[in-house]
Amino acid sequence: MDCCAHEGPGGGDARFDIKKVADGVWAAVASPAYKVNCNTAIIENADGVMVVDTHSKPSAARVIVEQLRGLTKKPVRYVVNTHFHWDHWHGNEVYPQAYPDAEIVTNTITREAMVKKGLKRIQDHVRQVPAEIAKLKADIQAASPSQRAKLEADLKLAESYLAEVRGLKPALPTIAFEQTMKLYRRDREIHLLHLGRAHTEGDVFVYLPKEKVVITGDAMIGWTPYMGDGYPEDWAGDASMAGEALANDRKMMGFARAPPILLRP
């Protein structure tokens, strides 16, 4: 399909390019935003859809839901979180609202990290963003006319984000697996894999063996990622194992944010 930028109602700065990766598999590639959004993988099956990762805020997830309705009439049945970082799961709540039968899936380590760390970090955002807003207001007062428009746009986005994060209704995963979970649909096989510690303790890889596609979250991206919850000594080995076991001679197509897609050349 043609690649074009999409923004749904109330999306703010959430924009995505929809790229076809394989039959029934798309990557929604996030454009730069004031509060970063991850990419989303969309996997259509005979009886429904799997979505991988849900962005930094519900309004961004709603943009994807709107675009999904243009791609397929099938409901979302599974939402997968590749890890517990805020920009990959803060939009979770949107999917059970739009698709009441949707299950949210990750591994047990990541779900526990969401409970023990992720929920606290939401409150950290609530406390920290007002200082960002105050700084933007001060910067606007000191800015030249040529700088003011950008700062005023950022201020509007920061205020909008604060309203969203204050109103978050965190939707935790409803299904948690240990090392591996396999879904056998009529037309597609999907593997959810925990290969070890990397970007976080519980990174999830999504592998489509027939299509030779791997969705890696932030475990494999095109620049030096955030290391605050990472395990560098394990990370390189896990990434190498993923490349050897899953990718073989396939190449990585890196995007602005995870999840990058591995696919056949």
pLDDT of residue 116: 94
pLDDT of residue 79: 97
Asked whether the beta carbons of 53 and 37 are under 8 A apart, the reply is no
Q: Which segment, 25-39, 165-179, 212-226, 230-244, is predicted with the most confidence on average?
A: 165-179
Higher model confidence: residue 218 or residue 227? 218
**CA-based nearest residue to 205, from 184, 179, 231:** 179
The predicted-structure confidence for 47-84, as pLDDT tens digits, reads as follows 999 999 998 899 999 999 999 999 999 999 999 999 98
Amino acid at 117: K
Task: Specify the 3-state DSSP secondary structure of 213.
Answer: strand
Give the start-to-end residue ranges of the domains of the chain: 5-112+169-263, 113-166
pLDDT of residue 244: 54
Average pLDDT on 128-146 reads 95
Q: Which run of H or of E encompasses 163?
A: helix 145-166
pLDDT of residue 197: 73
**CA-based nearest residue to 35, from 18, 58, 1:** 58
10 pLDDT more than 90 = no
- The angle subtended at Cα 54 by Cα 49 and Cα 60, nearest 5°, is 110
pLDDT of residue 172: 97
CATH class of the domain defined by 5-112+169-263: alpha beta
pLDDT of residue 108: 96
The predicted-structure confidence for 138-151, as pLDDT tens digits, reads as follows 999 999 999 999 99
pTM of the model: 0.83
Average pLDDT, whole number, for the chain?
82
